[in-house]
A and B are shown apart, each in its own frame.
Chain A
């Protein structure tokens, strides 16, 4: 077990930031911690890293109790904080060298590792730049390089793509997958469900300081009743009997906006064929059709009754 958190409780006065939080992370996986802002993701990460005192519970990393003085454990962890944590007074190279040097004392080894980290995040052309001269995306990449340069076994990334342009975001996500392929276990927190779905092998959905659901992307979607979302462009919607559509089996809701019919179905087979047959019977022409599988937002919505991005 890489991380084993049991019954973690963290209070800020009357506010319970973590409410008997449990988490188990296996070697080699990418675990996504997904939750809206304020759900307790960063608090959980800070407690795991011993940056915050907590009121109750236990945290073990690599089967050893984690504490501020657990230097052997810290040596195996790479951290990429939510806020960029670099020295504005040091160049890109100096920053990576500084953070790598906190873990690796041998100068030659460090030189090699720093070069690899620079190469990994694609900052080769910016090594002599000071952070203030870098764009938001490049700065995030520097932040990641500083966190992973020492080749840690466990990498914790706390919302590393906040305020990053789509191109840089894709680079970062590809990089994370690459690190995982190289053998690192990764914890990735985000409130962007698409990112989590894209890269995580297992996802833990958090709300109000608790994990409310956990599993693979598919497992989570199987947990809910909602099935696919069927979108149809109708050529002659005036002939549509919306109540008849709603009365069909497995249909949860149906809404017509202009020429666009959106039908939400519950889990079941042949829902699309059934709707198409019904429309054909009513002589309603169809322009475009597309079907969306349920998202993590649907999972979150069904469990909590609110949108993930509320």
Chain B
């Protein structure tokens, strides 16, 4: 394992440069994912509207029932029945809705006649609709009783109304799993990780391959009785070890930030996806390492590949916001499929055959990229073994 050991010594000699890259990319990843705020959960909270209730009809059980019903669903605010004060209350948003019960309302309702309550509202207020719904619900229920049970006493009517309107439909949120607050944040971190990982692997692998592909050293190695397959195996093993070390360092930050969440199905799938991507990124880095001839070219290629594929693959801009043409081009990069799988993993509240199939298809595609590129690289190396 002379080549493997020498390769690691070369990496060790370049460790300062690689550590700088690693730290810079990690800090960037942490800062960006830390500053990312996923949309807040929209849990239902009942909001009561401030309203004023003015009764011109006199005391009746029906009006009292309406008032009680509205008081249960809105905040009744006492405002003197003066035009100026009522207008001020609306203007200063002391109330958003003023309902006035007209004279003769009770009798008209009991007779089954069409009655209209007067309302004064803040223009374009959403609460208007809510209050209209509440009032209409009350009036429609009264209407239903007076129509179908003529001669029903006001006492009985209000009892029925109170009972009916007290009915609530219970809504239970049913889910097969729980969606952690870390899911989207970690998904974002792992998306960004692809950029860091790609850049570091290209730079690291190229640094090593530039040394081993130096014409004189390469010729000297070719004079030695070491089989091409053995040489490639040691090279790949060395670079794989470096890639896994880099991956471990980068994912260690996710354990620090998201703790035990990383041991959930979501966390483990994100880790698996990032590992598969590491293999593909290593394969591409190995190809680039065998093609570049100078350190200048190495930096340029690292930036173009890592940044370019991240931009079109949806690392910095969500895939949903990218155009179809961009996504079509991006689909020829492993970054696109990696990000796609990450987004699906992070968005899933539970895992079933359908979403898992989609996630694993993306992973297999990423792996296929890696295998194909590695095959091309090995052919390239074999062709270059003896110069024409």
Residues of A within 8 A of B (CB): 46, 49-53, 68-69, 71-72, 74-75, 77, 79, 81, 83-90, 94, 98-99, 101-103, 146
A75–B9 touching, CB < 8 Å: no
Query: Interface on chain B toward A: helix, strand, loop, or mixed SS?
Result: helix
CB within 8 Å for A53 and B10 given contacts A77-B223, A99-B224: no
In whole angstroms, how far apart are the Cα atoms of A89 and B387 in the complex? Answer: 26
Contacts of A88 in B (CB 8 A): 211
CB–CB B211/A79 < 8 A: no
A72 B225 Cβ-Cβ under 8 A: yes
When the two chains form the complex, which single residue of B5, B216, B222, B224 contacts A103, counting CB atoms closer than 8 Å? B224
Task: For the complex formed, measure the closest distance between the CB of B238 and the CB atoms of chain A, giving whole angstroms.
Answer: 13
- Does B159 touch A at the CB level, under 8 Å? no
Nearest-neighbour CB distance to chain A for B23, whole angstroms, equals 22
Which B residues are CB-close (under 8 A) to A85?
A: 214, 216-217, 219-220
| Chain B residues positioned under 8 Å from A53 (CB to CB) | 386-388
* Minimal beta-carbon separation of A48 from chain B (angstroms): 10
Is B46 part of the binding interface, using a Cβ–Cβ cutoff of 8 Å? no
The residues of A that contact B387 with a CB separation of less than 8 Å are 51-53
Can you list 21 contacts pairing A with B, beta carbon distance less than 8 Å? A50-B222, A51-B223, A68-B385, A68-B386, A69-B227, A71-B226, A74-B223, A81-B216, A81-B219, A83-B216, A85-B216, A87-B9, A89-B9, A90-B6, A94-B6, A94-B9, A98-B5, A99-B224, A101-B2, A102-B226, A103-B225
B352-388 interface with A by 8 A CB criterion: 385-388
Residue of B nearest to A84 (CB): B216
Q: A83-B216, A87-B10, A89-B211 are in contact. Are A51 and B225 (CB under 8 A)?
A: no
Q: Residue A87 contacts which of B211, B224, B386, B388 (CB distance < 8 angstroms)?
A: B211
Of A53, A74, A85, chain B has the most CB atoms within 10 Å of the CB of A85
Chain B nearest CB, measured from A285 CB (Å): 58
**B220–A79 CB distance below 8 A:** yes
CB-CB nearest in chain B for A110? B2
Which B residue's beta carbon lies closest to that of A71?
B225
Contact A81 B220, CB 8 Å, known A72-B225, A87-B6, A102-B225: yes
A40 CB to nearest chain B CB (Å): 16
Determine the chain A residues whose CB is within 8 A of the CB of B224 once the complex forms. 74, 99, 102-103
- A-B contacts besides A77-B223, A85-B219, A98-B2, 11 pairs, CB < 8 Å: A49-B222, A50-B386, A51-B219, A51-B222, A51-B386, A53-B388, A71-B227, A75-B225, A84-B216, A94-B9, A102-B225
CB A62 to nearest CB in B, in angstroms, measures 13
In the complex, which residue of chain B has the Cβ closest to the Cβ of A75?
A: B225
Query: In whole angstroms, how far apart are the Cα atoms of A161 and B228 in the complex?
Result: 31
Query: How many pairs, one residue from A and one from B, have CB atoms within 8 Å of each other in the complex?
Result: 73
CB distance from B94 to the nearest CB of A (A): 78
Give chain B residues whose Cβ lies under 8 Å from the Cβ of A102: 2, 221, 224-226
Residues of A within 8 A of B221 (CB): 102
Which residues of the partner chain B approach A75 to less than 8 Å between Cβ atoms?
225
Is the C-beta of B85 less than 8 angstroms from some C-beta in chain A? Answer: no
Q: Please give me the residue from chain B that is nearest to A12 by CB atom.
A: B388
Q: Which residues of B contact A52 (CB under 8 A)?
A: 386-387
CA distance A98 to B10 in the complex (A): 12
- Choose one: A46, A69, A90; the contact of B9 (CB below 8 Å): A90
Q: Is the CB of B386 within 8 A of A99?
A: no
Q: Which residues of B are at the interface with A, using a C-beta cutoff of 8 A?
A: 2, 5-6, 9-10, 12-14, 211, 214, 216-217, 219-228, 385-388
**Chain A residue at minimal CB-CB distance from B219:** A51
User: A214–B12 Cα gap in the complex (Å)?
Assistant: 50
Q: How far is the CB of B277 from chain A (nearest CB, A)?
A: 29
Q: Please, which residues of chain A bring their CB within 8 A of the CB of B10?
A: 87, 89-90
A276 to chain B, nearest CB (A): 55
Closest to A102 in B: B224
CA distance A113 to B68 in the complex (A): 103
Min Cβ gap B113→A in Å is 99
Among B5, B10, B219, chain A packs the most CB atoms within 10 A around the CB of B219
Chain A residue, CB-CB nearest to B1 = A101
Give the docked Cα–Cα distance between A50 and B223 (Å): 8
Task: Please name all residues of chain B whose beta carbon is closer than 8 Å to the beta carbon of A50 when the two chains form the complex.
Answer: 222, 386
Contacts of B225 in A (CB 8 A): 71-72, 74-75, 102-103
B contact residues around A79 at 8 Å (CB): 220, 223
Roughly how many angstroms separate A77 CA and B220 CA in the complex, as a whole number?
12
**A46 to chain B: which residues have CB within 8 Å?**
219
Q: Closest residue of chain B to A50, judged by CB?
A: B386
B234 CB to nearest A CB, Å: 11
CB-defined contacts of B223 to chain A, threshold 8 Å? 49, 51, 74, 77, 79
Q: Which of B2, B211, B385 has the most CB of A within 10 A?
A: B2
Residue of B5, B225, B387 most packed against chain A (CB within 10 A): B225
Q: Which residues of A contact B386 (CB under 8 A)?
A: 50-53, 68
Taking the closest CB of chain A, its distance from the CB of B235, in whole angstroms, is 14
Q: Enumerate chain A residues within 8 angstroms of B6, measured Cβ to Cβ.
A: 87, 90, 94, 98
Chain B residues near A103: list those with CB within 8 A: 224-225
Shortest Cβ distance from residue A87 to the other chain B in the assembled complex, whole angstroms: 6
Once the chains are docked, how many angstroms separate the CA of A83 from the CA of B216?
7
Once the chains are docked, how many angstroms separate the CA of A52 from the CA of B219? 10
Looking at B211, B220, B226, which has the most chain A CB atoms within 10 Å of its CB?
Answer: B220
CA A101 to CA B225, docked complex, whole Å? 10
In contact, B9 and A99 (Cβ under 8 angstroms): no
- Beta-carbon nearest neighbor of B214 in chain A: A85
Q: Roughly how many angstroms separate A99 CA and B227 CA in the complex, as a whole number?
A: 14
Which partner residue on chain B sits nearest A97 by CB separation? B2
Closest 10 A/B residue pairs (Cβ): A102-B224, A89-B13, A101-B2, A85-B220, A85-B216, A71-B225, A74-B225, A75-B225, A79-B223, A83-B216
Q: Return chain A residues, CB-CB under 8 Å to B388.
A: 53
- Residues in B whose Cβ lies below 8 Å from that of A86: 217
Please, which residues of chain B bring their CB within 8 A of the CB of A94? 6, 9
Q: How far is the CB of B157 from chain A (nearest CB, A)?
A: 95
Bound complex: CA of A69 vs CA of B10, how far in Å? 27
